[in-house]
Structure 1
Amino acid sequence: MIQVGDNIPAASVQQMIDGKPAEVHTQDFFKGKKVVLFAVPGAFTPTCSAAHLPGYVVLADEIKAKGIDAIVCLAVNDAFVMDAWGKAQNASELLMWGDGDGSFTKALGLDVDTGAFGGLRSRRYAMVVEDGVVTLLNVEPPKTFENSKAEVVLAVL
């Protein structure tokens, strides 16, 4: 599993741009930026939709005011689902990344197999990445939602 002080692995994810899925290369994206990246087990799922994503939507301006260049929400879903979820949640200030095949999530070592429930998913976490280096990593134990909340990340920025 990735640790504080590690570099973000090279991978590609998808983001909807102008109505079309576009590739985002992680090493290019994080270069020279300070980014909050948080991941959820799945778009449109209960805790993710009721609390996790909404917390970042509500606090986006305050988080960015702390010197954050971008807030990224990641899930092992496709870019179309992530885009629709972002629109449904009024997440226009956030970047909604789809890790469709889970390759970035696996490279981070933050994948989990939920079996028949949903297959490959991401663990719930939040991290701060500065110029490609992880400076904060809050990974949730299974079935919890405490230390990856927007309020927790904002408090340590």
Structure 2
Amino acid sequence: MTIQIGETLPQATFKEKTADGPVEVSTDALFKGKKVVLFAVPGAFTPTCTLNHLPGYLENRDTILSKGVDDIAVLSVNDWHVMGAWAQQTGGMGKIHFLADWDGAFTKALGLDADLSAGGLGVRSKRYSMLVEDGVVKSLNIEENPGQATVSGAAALLDQL
């Protein structure tokens, strides 16, 4: 079942590449006592994710943070090496968190996993965005078509802030 507005995020630990190497980031460390924008993509380096979804969040980072948001994170069912390379290539390193849900456990616990095997990707995350306050989902925007980044894009989320 898909997580709903008003529900608490499940506990998980992600991997993130930093300037000092890989670190583990728990859901408590990221969300507890904070207002966080989390968006997820089916795959780092894929066209829609790289050209349409991620850029809006990077370009609007300061505006989003000025609305009382403490942090922004992008999540993908990829390993931390891939997420780190994507952060570096896109200029996002140190601006937002690039979280690797390496085994998809968090994504599956949210009920937001998608089997994209027909496209050669395997089990990945649906494309979505959410606003989370102190671990509780306040808004949830799931794309019907994984090839689009409209309802889960930065502009749509800014309207919700």
Q: Deviation digits for residues 114-145 of structure 1, max 9, x if unmatched?
A: 12511110000000000010000000103332
Match of 1:132 among 130, 135, 155: 135
| Conserved? CA contact 1:9–1:27, under 8 Å | no
Q: CA deviation at 1:19?
A: 3.8
Could you tell me the TM-score, scaled by structure 2's length? 0.93
- Give yes or no for the alignment of 1:142 onto 2:145: yes
Q: In structure 2, the residue corresponding to 1:13 is in which secondary structure?
A: strand
- Give yes or no for the alignment of 1:49 onto 2:53: no
Q: Distance in 1 between matches of 2:96 and 2:113?
A: 22
Q: Deviation digits for residues 63-105 of structure 1, max 9, x if unmatched?
A: 0000010000000001111111011111131110001100111
Could you tell me the TM-score, scaled by structure 1's length? 0.96
* Counterpart residue identity of residue 148, structure 1: S
Alignment correspondent of 2:95? 93
Q: In structure 1, the residue corresponding to 2:60 is in which secondary structure?
A: helix
Q: CA deviation at 1:22?
A: 1.5
Instruction: Name structure 1 gaps, 5 residues minimum.
Output: none
Q: Percent identity at matched positions?
A: 50
| Conserved? CA contact 2:39–2:75, under 8 Å | yes
- Aligned positions, number: 157
Indicate the larger mover: 66-75 or 18-27: 18-27
Q: Aligned-pair RMSD on alpha carbons?
A: 1.1
Instruction: Name structure 2 gaps, 5 residues minimum.
Output: none
Q: Distance in 1 between matches of 2:117 and 2:35?
A: 35
